[in-house]
Amino acid sequence: MSSTSFVVALALFHLSFFHLNFHQSKFEVQKPYDVSQDQPVSTSSGSLPRTEIRIRGYDYSSGTWQFEGYGYVPSGTTGVSIMQVFGGSSRATTLMVRVYDGSLTNYRSPVLASNIYNKWFRLNVIHNADAGRVQIYIDGTLKYDGSDDGGSSHYFKFGVYTQNDPSSYMESRWKGIKV
């Protein structure tokens, strides 16, 4: 692909979506019921500890949807999901961007980007629910293109959610969130 074709393709990528206006009032913080003990979201929950933001009001079951945000993960954070497309058939999510030892992964693999600690990166996740496809871009570069996990209703979440082999301290920072 020539550099001109790449620029045109990149321009089309950005022009094919429009941003939805939303206020932080659309952010629902999901956090442990006992923060001091790092518990699940409720006493009846069998899930692992988390502090995430669910974007309310934009649940979807069809069409093509995009999440964009600038993320930052401090060194030492590992074994954690930092972004999800919730809603799947065989599991709760259709996509989960995780951090393991300084690398961003889709679930446990593939590795999407290495050496991400202590620097900002732009994350774009595109979900075509009609075609059953998900794409992950890091800093404008396509890193993953694959099938989703089905499901009939989806929404976006970001923050930290304990996964396999977690560190004792987990943090992700976010800015510039767009849907």
* pLDDT digit string, tens, across residues 104-130: 999 999 999 999 999 999 999 999 999
Q: How confident is the model at residue 34 (pLDDT cuts 50, 70, 90)?
A: low
Q: How confident is the model at residue 1 (pLDDT cuts 50, 70, 90)?
A: very low
Give residue 13's pLDDT.
44
Cα gap 85→55, rounded to integer Å: 11
Report whether pLDDT(40) > 80: no
* pLDDT digit string, tens, across residues 7-20: 344 444 444 566 66
Candidates 76, 85, 47; CA nearest to 166 is: 76
pTM as predicted: 0.81
Cα gap 174→172, rounded to integer Å: 7
Give residue 157's pLDDT.
95
* pLDDT digit string, tens, across residues 138-169: 999 999 999 999 999 999 999 999 999 999 88
Amino acid occupying residue 104: L
Give residue 9's pLDDT.
40
Q: In the chain, which ranges are continuous DSSP H helix?
A: 3-15
Is the omega angle on the peptide bond into residue 74 within 30 degrees of 0, that is, cis? no
Per-chain mean pLDDT for the chain: 84
Give residue 129's pLDDT.
97
Domains of the chain (ranges, CATH numbers): 25-34+50-178 (2.60.120.200)
Is the omega angle on the peptide bond into residue 110 within 30 degrees of 0, that is, cis? yes
152: left (phi over 0), alpha (psi -120 to 50) or beta: alpha
Report whether pLDDT(77) > 70: yes
On the 0-12 / 13-18 / 19+ scale of CB atoms within 10 A, 85 is buried
Give residue 53's pLDDT.
85
Within 13 Å of residue 15, how many CA atoms lie on the same side as its CB?
6
* pLDDT digit string, tens, across residues 83-105: 999 999 999 999 999 999 999 99
